[in-house]
């Protein structure tokens, strides 16, 4: 039995472990019936299609000669490869090889697509590259409560690793600098007292959030003092709940879906409580797009492009307390999360 201390964490481990988690690959609205898209997840190109009977995700490489199936098209209930016209159904079975008059059963069986579990929830399409029925998406009741206004933002590509995005999302000391033109200057650059609790599936941070001094009239309420609760469901699903003095609330989520070791696509959404007394939800979404773009620029400015998995300069070896405490909590919890799952793989038990 090998202990955590004996298991080495290398830069490859995060993707090995995370292939068993659900990751967003598209907003539902981007994939109407009959549409086919390509997406790179964990360095693997996948094809995602909406058949009349449902969704399908598979490796974006035809079993015949490797042509990109995402360049093909849907013919009813079949996805047709653009090169020699092989066809596949929604479960990835090869249903037709046109160059064979009567395809033998064994040939068809060998031609099965490598396909992945797929589901649709929260206005997004999610893929799990290694099937694990025990892994579920976190529940966020507000996102499915018809009394709330739920809006899904445009997925935003970052030329930065997903852990850079998570650190940015958790970070409360960059507002006055990186967002000085949108969120405004912090009345005080110090971090409020944070209450951090660890959970089996991640961690939570609660803090009173101070008012920001806005340079203009942009959605003023969003900068007013509020209670902030950040809940990270490992590995990369993080919500922020803002509760204002009048009881109004907003819940945001960011899920930076890893494309490669140094690129991610941030999927995100916003839920606004019923009767929110402030900017209309659509304006809040537009405002969040601007703020996210400022974050993207900061993340893309960092070197190296991904936070090293082990402590080091430029990663999480040089920390200030309490400013980086939450980022540090993420890095430590993420390492523990990886080690726990590696131990299961190595030892065959928890
Ligand atoms: S490469 Fe797809 S049918 Fe030949
Ligand atoms: Fe930010």
Q: Are residues 285 and 330 in the same domain?
A: yes
Q: Which domain holds residue 183?
A: 141-340
88 lines ligand 1 (CB under 6 A): no
The minimum-distance atom of ligand 1 relative to the CA of 65 is 1
Ligand nearest to C-alpha 72: 1
Residue nearest to atom 1 of ligand 1 (CA): 65
User: 289 lies in a domain?
Assistant: yes
Calculate how far, in angstroms, residue 139's C-alpha sits from the geometric centre of ligand 2: 24
Q: Do the strands 263-272 and 156-158 form a parallel or antiparallel pair, or are they unpaired?
A: antiparallel
Residue nearest to atom 4 of ligand 1 (CA): 84
100 lines ligand 1 (CB under 6 A): no
Q: Measuring CA to CA, which residue among 86, 84, 73, 65 is closest to residue 47?
A: 73
Q: Are residues 148 and 268 in the same domain?
A: yes
Answer for the pair 152, 269: CB distance below 8 angstroms, yes or no.
yes
CA geometry: angle at 259 spanning 254 and 263, to 5°?
A: 80
Calculate how far, in angstroms, residue 97's C-alpha sits from the geometric centre of ligand 2: 51
User: 93 lies in a domain?
Assistant: yes
Q: Are residues 76 and 159 in the same domain?
A: no
Instruction: Specify the number of domains making up the chain.
Output: 2
Residues around ion ligand 2, judged by CB within 5 A, are 295
Ligand nearest to C-alpha 62: 1
> Hunting for tokens 């993080």 — which residue is that?
238
Q: Tell me which of 60, 68, 86 to substitute to probe ligand 1's pocket, judged by most ligand atoms within 8 Å of the beta carbon.
A: 86
Mind listing the pLDDT tens digit of every residue in the chain (350 residues)?
666 666 789 999 999 999 999 999 999 999 999 999 999 999 999 999 999 999 999 999 999 999 999 999 999 999 999 999 999 999 999 999 998 878 788 878 889 999 999 999 999 999 999 999 999 999 999 999 999 999 999 999 999 999 999 999 999 888 878 888 787 665 456 778 899 999 999 999 999 988 776 655 556 788 888 999 999 999 999 999 999 999 999 999 999 999 999 999 999 999 999 999 999 999 999 999 999 999 999 999 999 999 999 887 767 666 677 888 999 999 999 999 999 999 887 776 54
81 lines ligand 1 (CB under 6 A): yes
d(CA 223, CA 221): 5
The minimum-distance atom of ligand 1 relative to the CA of 85 is 3
Domain with residue 270: its CATH number is: 3.90.380.10
253 lines ligand 1 (CB under 6 A): no
- Of 85, 105, 128, which one is at a domain's C-terminal end? 128
Calculate how far, in angstroms, residue 199's C-alpha sits from the geometric centre of ligand 1: 48
Q: Are residues 199 and 242 in the same domain?
A: yes
67 lines ligand 1 (CB under 6 A): yes
Q: Are residues 163 and 192 in the same domain?
A: yes
Residue 214's region, left for phi above 0, alpha for psi from -120 to 50, else beta, is beta
User: 8 lies in a domain?
Assistant: no
Q: Are residues 247 and 160 in the same domain?
A: yes
User: 59 lies in a domain?
Assistant: yes
Q: Tell me which of 81, 92, 100, 114 to substitute to probe ligand 1's pocket, judged by most ligand atoms within 8 Å of the beta carbon.
A: 81
Q: Are residues 295 and 222 in the same domain?
A: yes
Q: Are residues 113 and 51 in the same domain?
A: yes
Tokens describing residue 346: 């190595």
d(CA 64, CA 79): 14
Q: Are residues 150 and 187 in the same domain?
A: yes
User: 182 lies in a domain?
Assistant: yes
User: 25 lies in a domain?
Assistant: no
Domain with residue 109: its CATH number is: 2.102.10.10
Q: Tell me which of 70, 83, 99 to substitute to probe ligand 1's pocket, judged by most ligand atoms within 8 Å of the beta carbon.
A: 83
The minimum-distance atom of ligand 1 relative to the CA of 82 is 2
Ligand nearest to C-alpha 293: 2
82 lines ligand 1 (CB under 6 A): no
- Of 103, 128, 153, which one is at a domain's C-terminal end? 128
**DSSP single-letter state for residue 14:** H
**DSSP single-letter state for residue 130:** S
Q: Write down the pLDDT at residue 217.
A: 52
Render the burial of 206-219: b for 16+ CB within 10 Å, e for the rest: bbebbebebeeebb
User: 239 lies in a domain?
Assistant: yes
Q: Are residues 113 and 149 in the same domain?
A: no
pTM reported for the whole predicted model: 0.95
Q: Do the strands 124-128 and 78-80 form a parallel or antiparallel pair, or are they unpaired?
A: unpaired
71 lines ligand 1 (CB under 6 A): no
Q: Write down the pLDDT at residue 349.
A: 54
Q: Write down the pLDDT at residue 127.
A: 98
The minimum-distance atom of ligand 1 relative to the CA of 97 is 3
Cis peptide before 235 (omega within 30 of 0): yes
User: 291 lies in a domain?
Assistant: yes
Q: Are residues 182 and 323 in the same domain?
A: yes
- Of 128, 158, 177, which one is at a domain's C-terminal end? 128
Straight-line distance from the first to the last Cα atom of the chain, in angstroms, rounded to the nearest whole number: 10
> Hunting for tokens 């070896």 — which residue is that?
317
Q: Write down the pLDDT at residue 110.
A: 86
User: What are the distances in angstroms from CA 45 to CA 19, 60, 67, 77, 258?
Assistant: 13, 5, 12, 22, 12
Q: Are residues 205 and 268 in the same domain?
A: yes
64 lines ligand 1 (CB under 6 A): yes
Residue nearest to atom 3 of ligand 1 (CA): 84
Which residues fall within 8 angstroms of residue 199, CB to CB, at 6 or more apart? none
d(CA 33, CA 56): 12
Q: Write down the pLDDT at residue 252.
A: 98
């Amino acid at each position: 039995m090998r202990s955590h201390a004996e298991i080495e964490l290398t830069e490859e481990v995060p993707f090995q472990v995370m292939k068993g988690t659900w990751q967003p690959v598209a907003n539902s609205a981007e994939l109407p019936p009959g549409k086919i898209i390509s997406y790179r997840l964990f360095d693997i190109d996948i094809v995602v299609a909406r058949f009349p009977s449902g969704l399908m995700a598979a490796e974006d490489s035809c079993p015949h000669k490797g042509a990109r199936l995402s360049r093909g098209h849907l013919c009813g209930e079949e996805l047709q490869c653009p090169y020699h016209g092989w066809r596949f159904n929604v479960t990835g079975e090869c249903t037709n090889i046109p160059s064979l008059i009567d395809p033998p059963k064994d040939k068809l069986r060998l031609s099965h697509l490598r396909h992945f579990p797929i589901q649709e929830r929260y206005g997004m399409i999610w893929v799990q590259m290694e099937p694990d029925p025990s892994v579920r998406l976190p529940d966020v009741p507000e996102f499915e409560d018809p009394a709330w206004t739920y809006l899904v933002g445009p997925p935003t590509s970052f030329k930065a690793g997903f852990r850079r995005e998570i650190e940015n999302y958790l970070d409360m000391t960059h507002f006055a600098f990186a967002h000085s033109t949108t969120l405004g200057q912090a009345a005080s650059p110090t971090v409020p007292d944070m209450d951090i609790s660890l959970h089996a599936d991640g961690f939570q941070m609660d803090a009173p959030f101070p008012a920001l001094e806005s340079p203009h009239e942009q959605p003023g309420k969003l900068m007013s003092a509020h209670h902030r609760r950040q809940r990270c469901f490992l590995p990369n699903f993080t919500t922020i709940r803002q509760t204002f003095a009048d009881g109004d609330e907003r819940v945001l989520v960011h899920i930076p879906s890893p494309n490669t070791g140094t690129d991610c696509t941030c999927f995100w959404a916003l839920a606004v409580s019923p009767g929110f007394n402030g900017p209309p939800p659509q304006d809040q979404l537009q405002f969040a797009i601007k703020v996210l773009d400022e974050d993207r620029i900061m993340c893309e400015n960092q070197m190296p492009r991904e936070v090293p998995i082990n402590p080091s300069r430029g990663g999480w070896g040089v920390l200030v307390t309490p400013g980086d405490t939450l980022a540090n909590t993420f890095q430590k919890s993420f390492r523990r999360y990886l080690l726990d799952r590696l131990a299961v793989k190595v030892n065959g038990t928890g």
